[in-house]
Amino acid sequence: MTEPPNIANRLTTVAARGPDQIAVVQPNGRDSSGRYRYRTWTFSQLEREANAIANGLLAWGVEPGQRLVLMVRPSFEFVALTFGLMRAGIVVVLIDPGMGRANIFRCLEEINPDGFVAIPIVQAIRVFKRRRFPNARFNVTVGDRKWFWGGKTYFELLASTAHCQRPVAQSTAAIIFTSGSTGPPKGVVYEHSMFDAQVDLLRDFYGIQPGEIDLPGFPLFGLFNAAMGVTTVIPDMNPTKPAQVDPVRILAHLRDWKVTQAFGSPAIWNRVGRHCEATGESLPPTIRRVLSAGAPVPVHVIERMRRAFSNPDADIHTPYGATESLPIASICGREVLEQTAPRSQQGAGTCVGRTFPGIEVKIVEITDGPIRSLTAARELPSGQIGEIIVRGPSTTREYFQRSEATADAKISDDSRTHPPTLSSSHCYWHRMGDVGYLDDEGRLWFCGRKAHIVETMLGRMFTIPCEAIFNNHVRVFRSALVGVGSKPRQRPVIIVEPEAGQFPDSSADELRFRTELLNLGRANSLTTSIETVLFHRALPVDIRHNVKIFREKLGPWAESELKRQRG
pLDDT per position as a tens digit, 264-277: 999 999 999 999 99
- Cβ(315)–Cβ(289) below 8 Å: yes
Distance separating alpha carbons of residues 218 and 227, to the nearest angstrom? 16
Answer yes or no: is 144 within a domain.
yes
Q: Which helix (H) or strand (E) holds 437?
A: strand 428-438
Distance separating alpha carbons of residues 127 and 365, to the nearest angstrom? 49
Answer yes or no: is 309 within a domain.
no
pLDDT per position as a tens digit, 86-102: 999 999 999 987 778 88
Domain count along the chain: 3
> Do 154 and 24 have their domain in common?
yes
For 379, the domain range is 354-392+401-451
SS3 555: helix
Question: Which CATH number characterizes residue 17's domain?
Answer: 3.40.50.980
- Three-state secondary structure string covering 481-544: EEEECCCCCCEEEEEEEECCCCCCCCHHHHHHHHHHHHHHHHCCCCCCCCCEEEECCCCCECCC
Answer yes or no: is 275 within a domain.
no
DSSP secondary-structure letter at 4?
P
Type of residue numbered 516: E
pLDDT per position as a tens digit, 335-381: 999 999 999 999 999 999 999 999 999 999 999 999 999 999 999 99
Question: Which CATH number characterizes residue 406's domain?
Answer: 2.30.38.10
Answer yes or no: is 421 within a domain.
yes
Distance separating alpha carbons of residues 432 and 395, to the nearest angstrom? 11
How crowded is residue 204: how many other Cβ atoms within 10 Å of its Cβ?
12
> Do 432 and 504 have their domain in common?
no
**Does the pLDDT of residue 239 top 70, yes or no?**
yes
Chain centre to alpha carbon of residue 292: 9
> Do 150 and 1 have their domain in common?
yes
> Do 370 and 460 have their domain in common?
no
How crowded is residue 420: how many other Cβ atoms within 10 Å of its Cβ?
6
pLDDT at 526: 97
- Top pLDDT among 505 and 241 is at 505
Distance separating alpha carbons of residues 221 and 48, to the nearest angstrom? 21
> Do 465 and 432 have their domain in common?
no
Answer yes or no: is 224 within a domain.
no
SS3 310: coil
> Do 530 and 384 have their domain in common?
no
Share of the chain above pLDDT 90, in %: 83
**Does the pLDDT of residue 256 top 70, yes or no?**
yes
Question: Which CATH number characterizes residue 549's domain?
Answer: 3.30.300.30
- Cβ(115)–Cβ(563) below 8 Å: no
pLDDT per position as a tens digit, 452-503: 999 999 999 999 999 999 999 999 999 999 999 999 999 999 999 999 999 9
Distance separating alpha carbons of residues 14 and 20, to the nearest angstrom? 10
**Does the pLDDT of residue 426 top 70, yes or no?**
no
> Do 434 and 513 have their domain in common?
no
> Do 519 and 549 have their domain in common?
yes
> Do 387 and 529 have their domain in common?
no
> Do 1 and 67 have their domain in common?
yes
> Do 419 and 509 have their domain in common?
no
Question: Buried b / exposed e across 122-135, counting CB within 10 Å, b at 16+?
Answer: bbbbbeeeeeebee
pLDDT per position as a tens digit, 187-223: 999 999 999 999 999 999 999 999 999 999 988 889 9
